[in-house]
Every structure is written in C-alpha cells, then in structure tokens.
Amino acid sequence: MKNLRLPKPSIFNFKESLWFLDRGYDDCLHEVSSTGVSKLLTFNEKDFLVRLSENGKDLKAEILLGDASAWDELEIKKYLINWLDLDRDLQSLYSRVENFPLVADLFRQYHGLRLIAIPDLFEALGWSIIGQQINLNFAYQLKRALVEKYGVSVTHKGSRYYRFPKPEVLTHLAVSDLKALQYSRQKAEYLINLAGLFINDQLSFDQLAPMENTQDIIRELCKVRGIGEWTANYAVMKSLKRMDCITYGDIGLLNAVKKLKGLEDKPNRQMVEEFFKPFAGWESYIVFYLWRSLS
DNA sequence: CCCCAGGGCCATA
DNA sequence: TATGGCCATGGG
C-alpha cells in the first residue's frame, strides 16, 4: 500500500470538506468517516480505491486497492486536488467578502470550506437531472439505485465502493428500466438521451472546457433536453469548475439568501442578481457557502 | 388531505 | 413571452 502526500493550502479546513461530503445524506460514491473519506477512482481503465485523511500539515492519500504506476499516482493527486479544490487561491475572495457583513459572517463561520467538485461531466449532469424538483433524500435514493444496478464496484474489507455508471451503459437502457427504479418518465428520458450525446461525442468535457465565456457553455448545455438553467449552472460549477455560476431557481439557494438576509419571502430573480453583484467572478463560491449555511 | 422538495418540458393563448 | 399542468415519491 502506498501513501501520497498532498500539501494543504492556506485557508483550508479538511473537516469542512468531510462535513459537506456527509451532510446526513446517503451518498453511494464515497464513504466518509470522522477522519477521512474513501472513494473509488478510475484512470486508464484501472480502478483505485483511495482514502484521504489528514496528516499534520499535509493530506495523506492511501491507495488501498490498485497497483498504481508513477503516472497513475500523478493522476490520483491531480484528481484529489481538483475534487477538493486545493489549488485555488482564496485570498482575494476572503478579502472581498469582508466588505459585506452578512456574507463575511458566513465565511468566518465556515472558514476554509472549499468547493467540492464532481469532476466527471456526465456524472455532474446526470446527478443534477436526478436531483431536479424532488427532495434531496429521494434524489440520493434514486442515485443509489442507478449506481448499484449499473455502476462498477470493487470490494474492500467487506465494503463495496461504486463509481457512477458510464454513458456507454446507460444509453442502452429503456425508459422502463429506470421507471422500475422509481425514476419519472422525464428523468429516465433525459438521462438516456444525455448518455447518447456523450457516446456520440456530441457533448463532452473536452469540447466545453476550452470555451472562455461561461455563459456560452451554459447556453450550449441548455440546448439539451432536460438541461435548463439550474442544471447547466450546477454542472458547470461542479465539473468545469467555473467560478461564475449562479444556480438560478435553486430552492436551496433561495432559502439560504432568505435566511441570511432575514427576508419574509424567497427572493425574486432581481434580488438574487443584486445580491451576487459584488462577488462577480466568485459566484460559485458564494453559492457553495450559502448551501453550507442551510443546516 | 394538502403542499413542497437543490426543475424543466410542453401545451395553450 | 407568459402561465399552468405535469411528473414520482417522501416528509411535514
């Protein structure tokens, strides 16, 4: 078994990462304990089970399963840095929020929280389609059913670790297959259609990532059936790691702004735009901290 | 029984 | 362009 070392950046609290990964929801794609998180990763067709924990000034990534070459180790490190957003300089963001007391309070309260990514674009879009409209508990239930039936897994010390199903698998499903897992007809159609776009290379991370303007990417994604403004912004934030995403229409976001500002009702779109204006370029992080503030 | 959940599509006017 | 019904299910 090999250990990799990842230096902790400044303004970072690993406990906040763990908290967000384990907000009382039953996620099937990682396993959180009080000291670390385990996740199944795949590079070059090889599976690696990795456990990430703290080790003094560093983070330690233990490779519990899988024979990693030097090249694989590099990929694993890159993945983890991207996953927990460890290489972003948050100094200017933290300085900027100081001028806005309510938001500054959030950033003090959850100091060192970093945006947690869903690096794979198909997974990010799939998960956000699953989460549309329904409560989060049920959304996690739907994801688990899909992952356990159609995802790959490895077993380690009696526990199974899954990864999200590939579009190659989901594209061959019938709507009835997913309805059997309690998916609505629409969600089933959206997911199967989305998988088709990925295997036909009509949609991919590599096509979208080079695009400079985030709004162009959002516009492109919104052409896809089942992807609207919320889903597109969510996925672009979590996968492409753009920092200027606002998940308009997001019930969690609306409730968080309402709570933060002590409003009677949920804010309308204009109020949300106004709220985010001072934080241009960092909207995604503001959204993330607002989500954090919900429980 | 009602309404609402980290939405989006579609029909109607 | 704007509005309302619909989807599946669980919890309040």
**How many angstroms is C1' of C6 away from CA of A252?**
22
| Protein chain A, residues 136-155, with a C-beta closer than 7 Å to any atom of nucleic acid strand C | 137-138, 141
Mean per-residue pLDDT, A206-216: 98
Contact between the CB of A200 and strand C at under 7 Å = no
Mean per-residue pLDDT, A181-202: 98
pLDDT score, position A86: 98
- Say whether pLDDT at A1 is over 80: no
Q: Which residues of A are catalytic?
A: 250
Residue that is written with structure tokens 């078994």 in the block: A1
Whole-structure pTM value: 0.97
A227, closest nucleotide (Cα–C1'): B8
pLDDT score, position A2: 83
- Say whether pLDDT at A173 is over 90: yes
Contact between the CB of A134 and strand C at under 7 Å = yes
Mean per-residue pLDDT, A200-219: 98
Mean pLDDT of chain A: 97
Contact between the CB of A133 and strand C at under 7 Å = yes
Residue A164 and residue A146: Cα distance in Å, rounded?
8
pLDDT score, position A257: 97
Contact between the CB of A5 and strand C at under 7 Å = no
Mean per-residue pLDDT, A134-141: 97
pLDDT tens for residues A68-123? Answer: 999 999 999 999 999 999 999 999 999 999 999 999 999 999 999 999 999 999 99
Residue A156 and residue A116: Cα distance in Å, rounded?
25
Which of strand C's nucleotides are less than 7 A from any protein C-beta? Answer: 7-11
pLDDT score, position A295: 81
